[in-house]
Structure 1
Amino acid sequence: MDNTILIWIIVAAVVLVAIVATVVMRNRVTTQRARARKIREQADNDRIELERREAEAAKMDAEARMAQAEADARTADAALLQKQAQERSEHARDSRSEVDAQLRTADRIDPDVPDPARRDDDLADGGGGRTSAEVPDRGSARDGSDPPRT
C-alpha cells in the first residue's frame, strides 16, 4: 500500500501543479489582455490627438499658401504699377522734349525774342528755364502796344 499512496500523492501533486499552472496562465493571459486593451485605448486617444494636430497643421499650411499667393499677387501688382509709372515718366519726358522743341522753334521764329542763338545755348547748357526779362510776354509786344493780328 505504500506504493499506491505514494503514486496517488504524486498524481495529486502533478494535478495540483497543473491546476495552479493553468490558473496562473489564465491570470497571465487576462493581465496581458487588460494591458493590451489599455495600450490600444491610449493609442486611440493619441491617434485622435494626432489627427487633430495634423488637421491644424494642414490648416496652417493652407493659410500660409494663401498668404504667399496674396503676397505674390501684390508683388505682381506692384511690378505692374512700377512699369506703368516708368512708362508714364518716359512718356512725360518725351512730351517735355517735344514741348521744349516747340518753344525753341517758336523763339527762333518770333521776331520779338532777342538773340535766339543765346536762347538755344541756354537750353543746351541745361538752363532750360526762362527768366521774365529774357522772354517777352506772348500777349503783348515789347513796346507795350498790342501785338499785330493776322
Structure 2
Amino acid sequence: VDPACLPTYWNEDDLDGPFLAPVERGVEYSPDEYYKEPVPDNAQIIHIPAGKSGYVDVEAKEGTCLSWEIHSSGHFAWTIYEVDKDLNTEDTTQMKKVYPLFSKIPGPTLVPMLDKMEVPKTGIYRFWFGNHHAWFHTLKVQYVIETIN
C-alpha cells in the first residue's frame, strides 16, 4: 500500500508520517437529524421477483411535472422510459430513456428517492424497476407517483 494514499489522521499524534494523504474526517451528524418519515399512506406497492423487472405506467401531459417518492426493500435498478404507443412493444431497448438508468441503487432504502421532472411531451411514462441482480429476494417497492400541474 502506498502511504501517500492513506489519511494523515491515522498517524500518531506526535508523528508526521507515515501516512500522507490530506483526507478530512466526515462531519458529525446528529441522529436527531436523520430522516425518519414513514412511507406515505397513499403509497402503492409493486413486488418484483428475483431476476425480473416490473414497471408502472403513468400518463402525463406536456408542461406538467412528474414527481415520485420511492422506498424499496432491497437493491434495485431504476429508470423512466417514454412509451411509444405506435411500437406496441415491452422491449425497453426500443424505448427512449427520459431519466438516467441507475443500475444498482443500494437498499433497503432508509431515505426514499424523492425527485421530479418536467414532462417533455404528452404521453405515457414507464417507471421501470429491476431486480435482476437478486437470486432469491423478491423486491418490494412502495411508491407515490404524481402528476403536478
Same fold (TM over 0.5): no
Structure having the larger proportion of residues in strand: 2
- TM category (shorter chain) comes to under 0.3
Higher relative contact order (CA 8 A, sep 6+): 2
Larger C-alpha radius of gyration, 1 or 2?
Answer: 1
| TM score, norm. by length of structure 2 | 0.16
